[in-house]
Amino acid sequence: MNPLHEILHPKSIVYLGGSNSLTTPGTPQLINILASGFTGEVFPIHLKEETVLGLRAYRSVLELPYPADLAILVIPAGAVPPVLRECGQKGIKRAVIVTAGFSEVGDKSLENEIQNTAGEFGIRFIGPNCLGVNNPYNNFNCTWFPYHYKKGHFSLVSQSGSYSAHINHYLENNGIAVRCAISVGNQTSIDTVDCLEYLKDDAYTKVIGLYLEGVKDGRRFLEVARQVSLQKPIVALYVGGTETGARSGSSHTAALSAPDEIYNGAFKQAGIIRAYSVEEMLDFCLAFANQPLPKGNRVAVLTNSGGPATSMADTCDREGLEIPVFSDELQRKIQPFLLATATGKNPVDLTMTLDTRPLMVDIPRFVYEFKEADAILFYGLFGTRHASEKVEAMKGLIDFPTPVEKMEIYIDGLCDSLIKFTSETGLPVLGSSFWGRNDRPVAYLQDRGIPMYISPERAARSLAAMWRYRQWLNANISDS
Amino acid sequence: MSIIDKALAKGQKTLSEYESKLFLSSYGIPVTREILVTSLDEAIKAAAAIGFPVVLKGSSPDITHKTELNLVALNLKNKQDVAEACARIIGIAERVDILVQEMVGGERELAAGLIRNQQFGPCVMLGLGGIIAEALADVAFRVAPLSARDALDIQNDFKGSKILAPFRGKKEVNRQALVNILQAIGEIGLKEERIKEIDLNPVKITDEGNPVVVDALIALNSL
């Protein structure tokens, strides 16, 4: 079995570095494991305490009743080599070494020592200098920060600890559900490429997000990434600047070879979709994790507000997506749903209307039946919140024509119809609303696989990323 | 002994333009027709053999920036032009050979090359060429070896790539010829570790669409 699989799915853990004090560096992570609902056995090691956080403590790894599936080390760097040796002696083969203070601060010899010890006992580990892993499928989160959202299909491999865990709240607020997150740290035993190899065959993973500051072996990275891209997309945020490349060379070519340009080329060869900010990486992953790829670049833009739809169309245009003018026949179908002032050309603008049924139910069907678009972008979903706020403000003076609960049920039905539409037709649907998850339909759709973005351009850019990947796939599957 | 062996034995850090092109030709990369001569008489004979107009360049492994030293004479239309240019170049630099070269027409100029990247190894570059190439920095890279698709994709991967399409009455570049050049550069990068970098600038696109390497510099790794 892949060592990473075992690290993500332990049934028992030995934890080194937790105590009964919140100020001990390892305690918050141990709390997070316990609070995340981990159902396996947890064995804290402590030299003095009888119990740690209510669990029976052991004096050393060697005293455990049986070898745990995984050791987690949050102890001073100097203590790591002997403890890792004890793990080996006990028969523990997998570890997460959170501890910092190795090659990243120039201590290569200490890192070599743990690498050798691991080699001697057949131990494979994540880190050192990492923030651990999060796997909702095993209720196992040994990072610092809780993850409350549902199980998903987005896997994150990060060379930054922060990006693997600090973002958990952001993920939840944007409906981005995680398969797993891995903070690779110094990559001494398990590196970024090992993670890609594992996730390529992981059935739960539909998209891999990569935060990359550099690669150790560029050619192996390329080879593996290309194999992964043939199966599922990789979205990479590459943040250069730590590599000097060949800039010191003597030729003009060398002077032009900024690492960023080299990575651009390498990513294109490997089918990796590049993102230029962490927010963009997560936007793209949200789309890939939930929606089918577009088969072409024609987009229908449906809206009940002009400006945001124009923004979507503008972004599409710059990103290589087309907004075709609908045929007269299709426009005739759409027209009855529109006010006299509105247009059915594409973008289709309902203008201000409280009933979004045409936008979410009728018009997508027509677009599909007439085969005039390969994807749907929509904007302007309004839930009941804006209405109920007004009723609340004018309490006693005004009533809403329909009870709010009834309206919610009606709108949920519209959402269900749109969700069914995308699964039945295979047409990707991405939406945008400036209301976040505090407006019921946004959360409802996000939770059921329709990506909802806070701005119209972000929805359009995410669709464009899907189209870029689709094109790469088309070209490279026929080559291979 | 190969061109590289000889150059390294003489302590050269680069191959001269003439040597560079001989080497590139051996990989099937199209270069200007040219003859290296050491006297005025030979220069005139060579020009007649190549056909006017010609270009004269002062050539020496020590000289990598010929234009800056005013050692290049373009568009020489007859024997008299050649004689004058030859006298001028010999007057500027001592112990210099003369490279007599066909004058390649066409206004479209590309730059191509090879670098070695610490993470990815040999990488091939393509972009806009000419004297403002470095200022524009409009280039793209691919990691060697380049598949045929890589070598086609890179042709659309820089801003100025439109000049490769039919352009102002000139024919579209011969895409396959360019693919061959780019793949050959990658192959050189993988096979010839003693080559550190390659600069091909300009690679001219003739009005008929054929890419031709007009100037070349190969930098060597001294072992």
pLDDT, residue A246, reads 39
pLDDT, residue A342, reads 78
Query: Please, what are the domains in chain A?
Result: 3-287 (3.40.50.261), 292-472 (3.40.50.261)
Whether B24 contacts B87, CB under 8 Å:
no
B140 CB neighbours in chain A (<8 A) are 261, 264-265
| CB pair distance less than 8 Å for A253 and B121 | no
Distance of residue A157 Cα from the nearest chain B Cα, in angstroms: 19
| CB pair distance less than 8 Å for A218 and B141 | no
pLDDT, residue A245, reads 43
Query: How far apart are the C-alpha atoms of A253 and B133, rounded to whole Å?
Result: 10
pLDDT, residue A248, reads 44
pLDDT tens digit sequence for B112-133:
999 999 889 999 999 999 888 8
pLDDT, residue A409, reads 92
Helix (H) / strand (E) element for A376: namely: strand A375-379
Kindly state whether B138 is in contact with chain A, defined as any CB-CB distance less than 8 angstroms.
no
The residue among B120, B131, B159, B215 with the most chain A CBs within 10 A of its CB, best to mutate, is: B120
Nearest alpha carbon to residue A100 among A15, A2, A188, A206: A188
| Residues linked to residue B117 through DSSP beta bridges, in sequence order | B121
pLDDT tens digit sequence for B9-59:
999 999 999 999 999 999 999 999 999 999 889 999 999 999 999 999 988
Query: How far apart are the C-alpha atoms of A470 and A293, rounded to whole Å?
Result: 6
Distance of residue B177 Cα from the nearest chain A Cα, in angstroms: 20
Structure tokens belonging to residue A121: 């006992």
Whether B96 contacts B43, CB under 8 Å:
no
- Inter-chain contacts counted by CB atoms under 8 A, chains A and B: 103
Query: How far apart are the C-alpha atoms of B195 and B55, rounded to whole Å?
Result: 27
Which CATH number, 3.30.1490.20, 3.40.50.300, 3.40.50.720, 3.30.70.360, labels domain B33-102?
3.30.1490.20
pLDDT tens digit sequence for A97-140:
999 999 888 889 999 999 999 999 999 999 999 999 999 999 99
B134 CB neighbours in chain A (<8 A) are 252, 255-256
A245 CB neighbours in chain B (<8 A) are 117-118
Query: How far apart are the C-alpha atoms of A206 and A185, rounded to whole Å?
Result: 23
Confidence band, pLDDT 50/70/90 cuts, at residue B64: low
| CB pair distance less than 8 Å for A249 and B219 | yes
| CB pair distance less than 8 Å for A222 and B143 | yes
Nearest-CB residue to B219 (from A222, A244, A250): A250
What parts of chain A have a pLDDT lower than 50?
242, 244-249
Q: Where are the domains of chain B?
A: 4-14+106-220, 33-102
| CB pair distance less than 8 Å for A251 and B116 | no
Average pLDDT of B187-207?
96
Confidence band, pLDDT 50/70/90 cuts, at residue B168: confident
pLDDT, residue A412, reads 94
pLDDT, residue A252, reads 67
Q: Assign a CATH topology to domain B4-14+106-220.
A: D-amino Acid Aminotransferase; Chain A, domain 1 (3.30.470)
Query: How far apart are the C-alpha atoms of A113 and A479, rounded to whole Å?
Result: 45
Q: Does the pLDDT at position B66 exceed 80?
A: no
ipTM for this prediction: 0.91
Q: Does the pLDDT at position B166 exceed 80?
A: yes
pLDDT tens digit sequence for A220-231:
999 999 999 999
| CB pair distance less than 8 Å for B120 and A214 | no
A403 prior amide bond cis, ω within 30: no
pLDDT, residue B28, reads 97
A251 CB neighbours in chain B (<8 A) are 113, 115, 197-199, 217, 219
B126 CB neighbours in chain A (<8 A) are none
What distance, in Å, lies between the first and last C-alpha atoms of chain B?
16
Nearest-CB residue to A219 (from B120, B127, B150): B120
